[in-house]
Amino acid sequence: MPASAKICGLSTAATLDAAIAGGASHVGFVFFAASPRNVDFDRAAGLAARMPAQVRRVGVFVDPDDALLDAAVAAGRLDALQLHKTPPARVAAIRSRHARETWAAVAIKTRADLDRTADYVGAADRILYDAKTPPGAALPGGMGLRFDWALLDGFRHPLPWALSGGLDPANVAEAIARTGAALVDVSSGVERSPGIKDADRIAAFLAAVTGTASKRG
């Protein structure tokens, strides 16, 4: 099956249009005040209104409360919820409340971290494997870090999954070939500076993913 891509942390019409034109299957809107990629509800609504139905809108959250989720889902017309630093029971409750595809982001550094993904069976629809950030880091992701892809060798994934963490136009083809990822997720790897996406880098990333898909075919 060809790989697909999510461009995360979009905040402008131009970069959203680049993601759509390049063939992204998903785009991510970040609702986390500490992030340079954070969008307010009005901006999220404006961006969502530009999108064709076939591209899925993913809201990105860090252990959110219900009020934030309710407002973001409505403003961004969200199709899916991506939850960082959120325990399995809370993920399950959010999934039940909103009746939307729910992703649990799991920070990976060791094989023991991978084993934790089994806790989300029955709670989430998808696992997002992301690189573990340093202790005390302000952000749970989007820092350009990657984990050792060899950790995925022989691992029996408990749920559908996506690969994130340190991906960019230069390494995404290798990442897909190495891990077999069907969905890849990028944020900082297509930026000029934190929070500032680059339309050319988005296009190059998506072209690399498409090139991998054609080789598989």
Q: List active site positions.
A: 8, 130
Quick one: CA torsion of 204, 206, 210, 213, rounded to 10 degrees? 120
Q: Do the Cβ atoms of 168 and 190 come closer than 8 Å?
A: yes
- Given a contact cutoff of 8 angstroms between Cβ atoms, the answer to whether 101 and 83 are in contact is no
Tokens encoding 39: 């969008």
Residue-wise over 17-51: b if at least 16 C-beta within 10 A, else e? bbbbebebbbbbbbbbeebbbbbeeebbeebbeeb
